[in-house]
Structure 1
């Protein structure tokens, strides 16, 4: 364990005095996300360690630079888990970076997102002030929930130093059913299955195969297997881990990787190329060269939005466009937390 919060605070104060921009870095596992990083390195990876873990209370608190694999190992000893299944990206992903980039894995529609599980955070703002938001219990709050505002902000609203999370028990049994089917039929089946009172915990389609994961009590899982049918996937834990960490063959390649967030029941989009559908139809990955304006229009028609997740030209905007009102709110939040614009300038949007 290592607490370097004071060193981080001093570097922020020095950067402010010298008008130096700061590039926040944890495990560097998500450097490919967002626009090109700028500024002097603010290394958070050494600020690590589990601060407290109460298995009975289902709450864990850890410093932002703590590797996810360390947290997962501690939870595994107690038969518990992070329900949002965050990608570990080869073991380099950290807790702070996972929250900042709003990363969740295959179980997100059923287990919730990282944003849903955050109870509280500690944060150093652009004035060098150490702040605390939320706590270690679930409760209603009035006004902005600053802890959850950090999800997807990519470090632009301050330096996260500590995160408290809700954790959950592992299910009693997990099995995966595989069926050969078309993309359109897979989307229909995903939505049909998701609407049934069954222990569905993940649903993915790629390369002509639909994968449905069942997790829960043994009796419920076994009954659903008999009712739904399909081939049982051997070593399914490895498959979902590879999908979670984006290490399936689909994620290799030089062509740009686009992430669509759509209405789960939307028809397949008319784009030639390789597709992978996750989150029961709500998250769709597309690999190929395409005109951004056309992709935006197709996403809007399907009730969602699209971002350039990896590769391609990252000098322009890569995140979904924001409505003027939302853009104004984000800019005001940025000025409130980081008045001098020190943290990750332009990483999320050029205007932040």
Structure 2
């Protein structure tokens, strides 16, 4: 049931269409920028479900470094054992953007299905100071028993927030209500809307009882200067500080409640994450026409790189028994280390 990869490696599977983030970075129109960001993630979702074998759980302190042909670099580190938390930092070419965050997988089981969602936070910072916060939908694997083949689906919603410009994109997964196209009637269809939040005046807020603060705070230039994005030198400490290290005061979404003001629709999209995405009448992404980049491991990684794991190497070589023995040895050592940290008053 295992594939010879670490969860750190699998995390990067959907992030292989950097052309869209480059276009987002170049755009001066906040709405268009958000459209490109949404397109980037929608285009990659299918790659998370290319195959259903389970990756290996990362060992605390495990890392992975890779680059892409366009000049992008990515750094990942397992920063917590229980709960399992993976930190990542994707640097765009020439500093055009930085995509970073934490991923904490949450899994629930049913008789014939597994549902998984990635808790944590994800933000894209652009060179001109723009920022978009990203919230993923959940993945569901159905038909694990009593069927010829399982299938993967996306469920719930994805959200993308540009708080500085009052923009909030919501993408809902599932058949599009009222759609005539058979492709949009499928479970893998989606529809989305970008709203412009028009805040109420103080008088209106007082009359309605007001709304709680969203907790979203844009960092100052000084805050951004404190965050190094060059290498692993900052990723561990930055990610351990969580949202606070990114200028956020709360783990809650910065999306303002609908009753906080009037929401104007500024753009809408429909599509199918297995085929295409349309903004209005324009096609922005077609699966069969878009080339994905490949993440290439750096030639001289840190000693903590996952490629040095004995269990992964053994499984990749086809020696399942040796892989099992090595996997158990690593897990026993990690449990022993956790006991020592707990006895010494540490954490992790």
Give the shorter-chain TM-score range: under 0.3
Q: Which has the higher contact order (CA 8 A, sep 6+)?
A: 1
